Amino acid sequence: MKNNIIKGTCVDISSEGKGVIKTVYGVIFVDALLLGEEAEIEVTYARKGVAYGKIKRLIKMSKDRIQPLCPVSTACGGCTFQNATYEYELRYKKHKVEEDLKRIGHLENIKVNDAIKMDDPSHYRNKIQVPFGKENKRVVYGFYKSNTHKIIPIKGCNIEDKKAEPILKEIASLMEKYHIDPYNEDYRTGIIRHVLIRTSLSTNEIMVVLVSNVDTFPGRNNFIKELTTNRKEISTIIFNVNKRDTNVILGESEKVLYGKGYITDEILGLKFNISSKSFFQVNPIQVQKLFGEALKLADLKKTDTVLDAYAGVCTIGLLAAPHVKHVTSVELVKSAVINGRNNAKLNNINNITIKEDDCTQYINKETPYFDVVIMDPPRKGSTPEFLNALLKIKPSRIVYISCEPSTLARDLEYLKNDYQITTVQPVDMFPRSFHVETVACLQLKKR
């Protein structure tokens, strides 16, 4: 290695979408390097046989390499695959699930279907959280450069709803007009920390959340009046106060300044009210495919009883309810339980019971029987305690919705002696990123 420059060929893609080069010095992970490409790599960080680098010069280029649509894709770092064809990205996501099943779950003969693609993998995000700052005495907004507090200014993001950009531009202009300083992360001064925008695909409603370091600011009423006059598409505005020195964006205290304080969207014909803090899938087009696939694999019957575990706001439980005898949704977070109950009322769904409880403790206390369990755990996956509880009540079918293939693989291995894995279906919920959602269906083995 000379001057931290090394030549190599990409032989694999890591779980985070980085190119993998194997050398006598160890493994080098390289941003934006595609499978089969040869390049000169500048090593930027190294320790204990593992290094990270960036492309200095491409020697052999992949046929899947394209010119990024986003001019700041390299600097921003929010998208992994802006420089690759969508077909390449989909192949990678299928491969990622296959490799995790083999390497982590020791599941050798499980067929993984091709990832369900998005017809147009752009401008899909219905929720954005944008920090504001100052550059050359002008208010700017964008995204933090990876592992820094430096804002990369943007003028339109390729994966965000197009309706967000004009609103962000208007807010920046009004901040300058009303002398409202953006928050400074280093000095903990200023007023506006972030702006959160949520959009509805079905109703075209738009929510704007101003996240502030202070309880109010001079001229706030005039600011809101002018913002809603100039951007009439805004449905509601919420003022959220976050005074903590934290990476958590939203604070506990908030006030509705304009509109009703929530927006409404639909999934597979059901309506869902979305507040500033509600969990709701960020890709409203692909979520129809994700939950549609989960319901199809569950093979629901009118006589079935269903457990919706790790229920969140009970989205999948509410979607399942019209097709079955009864659904029990179990969720530990109180605010999510309240959202779920409100959405059940909104859709006039009466055959669902929503419990505020830990799903493991609920099963162990009640020992109920369910024909089907639909589980959608967080990225860290399930727990041995919950999986043991499942093995105790032995539902006929389990549908596992996962946002992390490695923990899915670990949990499937735990269940494989009692359950046959019949389907593994990746769904591309987050185009241009390395993330992949997966739905797995398990059938109880006959003894």
Q: Which domains does the chain have, with CATH numbers?
A: 5-65 (2.40.50.140), 91-119+283-444 (3.40.50.150), 127-267 (2.40.50.1070)
Catalytic residue among 76, 79, 157, 403: 403
pLDDT at 43: 92
Specify whether 403 is catalytic. Answer: yes
Is residue 12 scored above 90 in pLDDT? yes
- Kindly report, residue by residue over 159-214, the tens digit of the pLDDT: 999 999 999 999 999 999 999 999 988 778 899 999 999 999 999 999 999 999 99
Who wins on pLDDT, 341 or 80? 341
Dihedral angle of Cα 250, 254, 255, 258, to the nearest 10 degrees: 10
- Kindly report, residue by residue over 229-249, the tens digit of the pLDDT: 999 999 999 999 999 988 889
- In 213-329, which residue ranges form alpha helices assigned H by DSSP? 220-230, 286-298, 315-320
Strand pairing category for 19-23 and 26-30: antiparallel
Is residue 1 scored above 60 in pLDDT? no
Q: How many CB atoms lie within 10 A of CB 391?
A: 14
pLDDT at 45: 87
For the residues 325-350, what does the mean pLDDT come to? 95
The pLDDT mean for the chain works out to 93
User: What residues contact 319, with CB distance under 8 A and at least 6 apart?
Assistant: 267, 268, 270, 291, 295
Strand pairing category for 270-274 and 305-309: unpaired
Reduce the DSSP state of residue 164 to 3 states and report it.
helix
Q: How far is CA 372 from CA 38, 202, 344, 377, 411, in A?
A: 49, 30, 20, 16, 17
Is residue 378 scored above 60 in pLDDT? yes
Helix (H) or strand (E) holding 329: strand 326-331
pLDDT at 147: 66
User: Left, alpha or beta for 17 (phi > 0: left; psi -120 to 50: alpha)?
Assistant: left
